[in-house]
Amino acid sequence: MAEQIRLKTPVTDEDIMKLKIGDSVLLTGKILTGRDAAHKRLFELAEKGESLPIDIKGQIIYYVGPAPAKPGYAVGPAGPTTSGRMDPYAPLLMKMGLKGMIGKGVRSKKVREAMKEFKAVYFSATGGAAALIAKNIKAVKIIAYEDLGTEAIRELEVENFPVIVANDAHGGDLYEEGIKKYRR
């Protein structure tokens, strides 16, 4: 089995360019959360040339709306949501400096092309393992759009948060490669 890559956030172009599809990565540091409603708001502000309520340069956004925390935990189950719903917004956010996205499922051709152009990466988190993933989240705070409830933008402090590189900045696509490998 390949060695796990340890990556601290925020990330740089150099960090991103070292990653290849299939790499197992452990993230430590702060990552952001955001889903459909938050992405729509960020996109609308960016299109108008207005400032965002968060700094996305070098950041990673996890497509999640974590459940309420049980006593002793920072968050409740925190599994990834389907990433394709953020595809209309992702290229502009990458242009503004977003370096990584975490979710589940395939990304559109336009998003994959933007990853190459803006040196960004898409990580896949294991769906169905929400309670296990939550154990790697050490702290959480809402930093924007509190009115969105579960979909508010949060800052998560993570330690050895497990992800797999599904799309890299070189044009690699783990989903396509997997299909080719097992097609008969």
Count of other CB atoms within 10 angstroms of residue 100: 29
Three-state SS at 94: helix
pLDDT tens per residue across span 6-61: 999 999 999 999 999 999 999 999 999 999 999 999 999 999 999 999 999 999 99
Please report the DSSP string for 126-168 in residue order: -TT-HHHHHTTEEEEEEEE-GGGGGGSEEEEEEEEEEEEEEE-
C-alpha dist (Å) from residue 93 to 20, 88, 120: 21, 10, 10
Q: Name the catalytic one among 35, 39, 99, 104.
A: 39
Sorted by where each starts, the structural domains of the chain and their CATH numbers stand as 5-182 (3.20.130.10)
C-alpha dist (Å) from residue 65 to 3, 14, 42, 50, 75: 30, 29, 16, 25, 10
pLDDT at residue 3, rounded to an integer: 66
Q: Give pTM, 2 decimals.
A: 0.93
pLDDT at residue 27, rounded to an integer: 97
Q: Does 122 have pLDDT greater than 90?
A: yes
170 is catalytic: no
pLDDT tens per residue across span 86-116: 999 999 999 999 999 999 999 999 999 999 9
Output the six-digit token pair for 129: 């393992």
